[in-house]
Every structure is written in C-alpha cells, then in structure tokens.
C-alpha cells in the first residue's frame, strides 16, 4: 500500500486509483476499472468500512446492466444465481393517473412502424374510432409480463421476439459481494478502515491522501468517491455543492421491508401510488422487496411504516428500515482529481430504477475520459456536462409520473398535480398533447416507448395524430393491428413460464 502521495506522480499520469466506499457503486467501479483500465498498468484499490456499512437497498434495474456485465465478461446464469435475481420486463404502475388505473411501462416497443409512420400514430387514429384495443396489447413485453412468461429476446430483427429487452430484479448487496470477489480476483486491493479525514495538495482542489482512523494515509492519483449520501470527498473535502430538486420531486424518505414470497415471482416490478407517495414491490427468487417512498410533509414515519406493513403480500422478514434523502445532484461530479459516483453524486428516487444505471453511465463516461496524462480540467468539464444531462432527463421523466395525474384525494397529490414543472418537461408534454410527438434525444436514458407508456398510461392523450397515419386505408390499418395483436398472443402463449425459466437457467441457493 502506498503511503503519502507524491505530487510528482500525478504529473506523469494516473497510476493509482483509490475508490472510497464499497457499496454497489464502489464495487461496480472497482470491477470495471480492474477489467478495463488496470491492464494499462493502473493499480486499483478500494477502501471501505464494515463498521459503517452500505445503504442496503436497491433491487430493480434497467436493461443496460446486462451490457455492463457482458463487457466485464460476467456469466449471466452465475450472476443471477448469486444475486437471487429474477427477470424484469418493465414496471407496473398502479393508481397513478387515477385510483384504479394500471399500466405497464415495458422494456420494449409498441407495435412496428408501418410505411414510415410511427406505430403509435396509427394506433391513435384507429383508437379514436374505436377500432383498436389498449396500446399495451401491441407490446410483446407487456403481454409477457401480464402472463408471467419469459424467454430471451431473438437477434433476428424480423422476429417479434426481437422487440423487447429485459433487466433484473436482484439483491444489490449480493451484487456488490459478487463484484467484490470478481474485482479482487483481478487484483483490486481492498483496504478495511474508517476514513476520518482527507488532505488536499496545498492551494489546489486535488486530494493528496485520505487518513484512516488508525492513522494510515492512503494516496492515489485519482479518487472515486463512492461513499454514499455523505459524499466524503466530493462534499466533505471539496464542497462541490448540491442542486436540490425537491420542489419537483418532494418525496424525501423511504421505509423498506422484505417479506416472504407469495407465489412464483412475477417478471416485473410494481409501483403503487399511495396517499403520500408510492410503494414498490420487487420479486426476487427468495423473497419480495417492499418499500414506501413518501413525503415527510404529508405523512409521519410510523404511519408510513404501518401503511406499508398493512399491504404486504406475506409475512415481513425483518423490522422496517427508514431512509432519508434529498433529491438532486452535486453541482459538480468531478472536481480536481475526484469523481463522485453513486449516492455521493446525487439521488433520484427509485421510481424508474435509475440509480444503478446512473452509476453505470458515470463509470462508462469515466472510462471513456480516463486521463492518459495528468488529470485534465477539460475531462472533468465534459464528464459533468454528460452526467448533468443524464440526471436532468431522468428527473423530467420522473416528474411526469407525478404531474400527469388526475388524483385529488390527498394534499400530496394536490401538491404534485399543481406544481410548477421544469420548462424542458412542459415543452415535451405540449408537443405530445398537440399531435403525439415524442421529443427524441441522441443521448439520454428513456426513449420513445417509455414516454409513450407513461403519457398514455396516465391519460395524457394527443389531440390529434400525424397526418401521415391517414395515408393507409382504414381497413388495411385495422387488419395490420389485428394481425400484430394475435401474433403477439400466439408468441407469448408458446413461451415458458418465468418461474420455469429461472429454475432451468439460474436457480439460486435457498436463502
Ligand atoms: C429507498 C431506496 C431505494 C432504492 N432502490 C433502488 C432500486 O430499486 N434500483 C436502483 O438502481 N437503485 C436503488 N436505490 C439506489 C441504490 O441503493 C444505490 O444507488 C446503490 O446502492 C449505490 O449506493 P452507494 O454504493 O453509492 O452507497 P452506499 O451503499 O451507501 O455505500 C457507501 C460505502 O462507503 C463506505 N463509507 C462511507 N463512509 C466511509 C468512511 N468514512 N470510511 C470508509 N468507508 C466509508 C461505506 O462503508 C460503504 O461501503 C435505492 C435507494 C434508496 C435510498
């Protein structure tokens, strides 16, 4: 282990990376750098404190995690068995537009474009005339989820089985443990100990070394702050500042409790709107994860816990755990030679399972910009630009779920239904209302089908449709939709049950 850092080394380039924290963010970073950067001659170490522990929640993911694991060379079946993982085809939203409503936001497409016209435009034209079913009926992953069925997607773009993707529902603590073994196997050095201070290179914003409780000093040319909500380096030492988004995302607490499984695990996560927030239900192989994300202005901790416990599917396996957070992001995520990833970089509530994705996006961007020479402020600026866009686009998408509601049954829903929303979101909603156009980006996480799912699922209905959709004769369009729908049904009927897929592909050991 190195002692005090020598400043001269930084001028030669990054030879040593010190990761602060061993939660999901820390071990994802360690595993990725060990695989992708260490072969260039860079030493990777991770410092964590068992006494402090991790945040201990996080179960639902997005399909991007598959590409992260693949890039690292991780075997899917081994990973799924080790993390008690199930398949996730999307999220079911209950009671968001109105009480009693339900829709699934799938990882996949609605229909197929026909003659250069977006499918949803064609659907909108027919639906207005009562000649089309729910848009969900034209989405393979929605029908798969509703029927608890799963088989991996096909590569052939002509097959309807190529029209979806999938993610996992897993135990993120087990994932961190899995990645730890992986990273240590690739030579990552793990240092156990509690950091009590950090020293900067005089007159700079570069961290020179961190100081452990027992007096050890540990240096590095680049530090990755994965220390969780506390942001030990990025805020504690470097005062990056925090942009608070609680005006548009006012939930600030959560209570979590696992319970026994109540039947075979469904291949989707559920988010049910509640009086002062929403409740998650995430089926893993060995249990159900549950939690209530709420706004402390509108409900007390005890009432939230009682509400959650009263609507579990089966017996709780532990005492409820309370968590507090403030929605927003660090004003700068890369300062000097420190990059913040994970909860130390910001937090957006887990409504669309975006936290692990944002860690992954940060790692990918860091690897792309990894300094060849000395740490360069230009790289830091570019990193911040890319990550700011990622966070803002996720924020807008989350805000849409709250704002696009007709609920008026509690002060919480009155508040979010009438709040001022970011201009960037007003613009998107206006365009959709006018003629069903979904604003598209080159970068950014959520693509057209995701926006469509929430708009239509929460009763944001376009006034009209793209005139191009009128070019196809009505009877032909009707036949096209009917054939698509029955093709999806036939395909899903022939698929294995999700439960059987898990048993064959990746059975986990009993907990
Ligand atoms: C209620 C809730 C629900 C969530 N659900 C999801 C979900 O479904 N999907 C999803 O993608 N994400 C979810 N998340 C987010 C997810 O939990 C985190 O993004 C993820 O676990 C990463 O956390 P982390 O590694 O940044 O921080 P942590 O897990 O807090 O880890 C911090 C690490 O830093 C170490 N550390 C801290 N201080 C010191 C010190 N002084 N010295 C030494 N070590 C130190 C700790 O020991 C620990 O190892 C959820 C979060 C919350 C709050």
**β-pair type (16-20, 222-225):** parallel
Answer yes or no: do 57 and 182 share one domain. yes
Q: Which residues contact 1 (CB under 8 A, 6 or more apart)?
A: 45, 189, 191, 216, 218
Clarify whether residues 47 and 175 are in a common domain: yes
- Count of alpha carbons within 13 Å of 505, Cβ hemisphere only? 20
Q: Residue 503 catalytic?
A: no
Q: How many domains does the chain have?
A: 3
Q: Assess if residue 264 is contained within a domain.
A: yes
Domain coverage including residue 76: 7-84+171-243+327-392
Question: Does one domain contain both 155 and 177?
Answer: no
301 and 338 in one domain? no
Q: What distance in angstroms lies between residue 27's CA and the mean position of ligand 1's atoms?
A: 11
127 and 267, same structural domain? Answer: no
Residue 454 domain-assigned (yes or no)? yes
183 in the same domain as 157: no
The CATH number covering residue 346 comes to 3.50.50.60
Of 274, 297, 324, the domain-final residue: 324
Give domain status of residue 409, yes or no. Answer: no
- What lines the ligand 1 site, CB under 6 Å? 21-26, 47-49, 52-55, 57-61, 172, 194-195, 226-228, 230, 232, 254, 256, 291, 323, 325, 342-344, 350, 353, 355-356
pLDDT tens track for 104-151: 999 999 999 888 899 999 999 999 999 999 999 999 999 999 999 999
Tokens for 262? Answer: 């109540």
The pLDDT assigned to 443 comes to 64
Cα gap 357→139, rounded to integer Å: 24
Considering the domain architecture, whether residues 318 and 445 belong to the same structural domain is answered as no
Low-confidence stretches of the chain (pLDDT beneath 70): 1-12, 442-444, 511
Instruction: Output the pLDDT for position 244.
Output: 98
pTM of the model: 0.96
Structure confidence at residue 169 (pLDDT): 98
351/378 same-domain check: yes
Same domain, 332 and 454: no
Is 503 inside any structural domain? no
Length reported for the chain:
511
* pLDDT for the residue numbered 440: 75
CA nearest ligand 1 atom 33, residue: 21
């Amino acid at each position: 282990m190195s002692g005090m850092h020598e400043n001269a080394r930084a001028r030669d380039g990054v030879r040593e990376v010190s990761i602060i924290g061993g939660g999901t963010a820390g071990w994802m970073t360690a595993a990725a750098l060990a695989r992708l950067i260490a072969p260039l001659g860079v030493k990777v170490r991770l410092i964590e404190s068992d006494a402090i522990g991790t945040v201990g929640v996080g179960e639902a993911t997005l399909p991007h995690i598959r590409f992260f694991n693949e890039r690292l060379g991780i075997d899917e079946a081994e990973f799924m068995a080790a993390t008690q993982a199930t398949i996730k085809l999307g999220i079911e939203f209950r009671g968001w537009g109105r009480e009693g409503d339900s829709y699934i936001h799938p990882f996949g497409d609605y229909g197929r474009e026909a003659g250069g016209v977006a499918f949803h435009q064609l659907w909108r034209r027919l639906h207005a005339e009562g000649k089309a079913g729910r848009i969900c009926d034209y989405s393979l992953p929605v029908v798969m989820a509703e029927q608890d069925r799963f088989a991996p997607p096909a590569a052939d773009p002509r097959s309807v089985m190529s029209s979806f993707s999938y993610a996992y529902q897993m135990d993120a603590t087990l994932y961190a443990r899995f990645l730890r073994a992986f990273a240590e196997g690739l030579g990552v050095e793990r240092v156990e100990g509690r950091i009590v201070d950090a020293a900067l290179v005089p007159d700079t914003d570069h961290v020179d070394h961190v100081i452990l409780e027992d007096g050890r000093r540990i240096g590095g040319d680049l530090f990755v702050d994965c220390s969780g909500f506390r942001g030990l380096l990025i805020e504690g030492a470097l005062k990056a500042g925090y942009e608070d988004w609680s005006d548009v995302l006012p939930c600030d607490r959560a209570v979590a409790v696992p319970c026994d499984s109540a039947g075979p695990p469904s291949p989707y996560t559920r988010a049910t709107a509640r009086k002062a927030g929403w409740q998650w239900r995430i089926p893993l192989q060995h249990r159900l994860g549950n939690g209530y994300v709420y706004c402390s202005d509108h409900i007390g901790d005890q009432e939230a816990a009682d509400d959650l416990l009263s609507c579990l599917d089966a017996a709780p396996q532990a005492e409820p755990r309370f968590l507090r957070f403030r929605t927003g992001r660090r004003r700068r995520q890369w300062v000097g030679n420190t990059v913040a990833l994970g909860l130390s970089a910001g937090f957006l509530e887990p409504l669309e399972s975006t936290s692990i994705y944002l860690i992954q996006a940060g790692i990918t961007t860091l690897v792309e910009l990894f300094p060849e020479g000395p740490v360069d402020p230009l790289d830091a600026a570019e990193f911040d630009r890319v990550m700011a866009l990622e966070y803002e686009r996720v924020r807008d998408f989350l805000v849409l779920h709250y704002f696009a509601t007709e609920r008026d049954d509690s002060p919480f829903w009155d508040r979010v239904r009438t709040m001022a929303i970011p201009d960037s979101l007003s613009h998107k909603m206006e365009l959709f209302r006018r003629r069903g156009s979904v604003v598209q980006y080159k970068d950014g996480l959520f693509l057209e089908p995701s926006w469509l799912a929430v708009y239509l699922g929460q009763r944001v209905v376009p006034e009209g449709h793209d005139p191009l959709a009128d070019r196809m004769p009505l009877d032909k369009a009707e036949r096209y939709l009917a054939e698509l729908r029955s093709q999806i049904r036939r395909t899903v009927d022939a698929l294995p049950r999700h439960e059987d897929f898990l048993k064959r592909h990746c059975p986990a050991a009993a907990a």
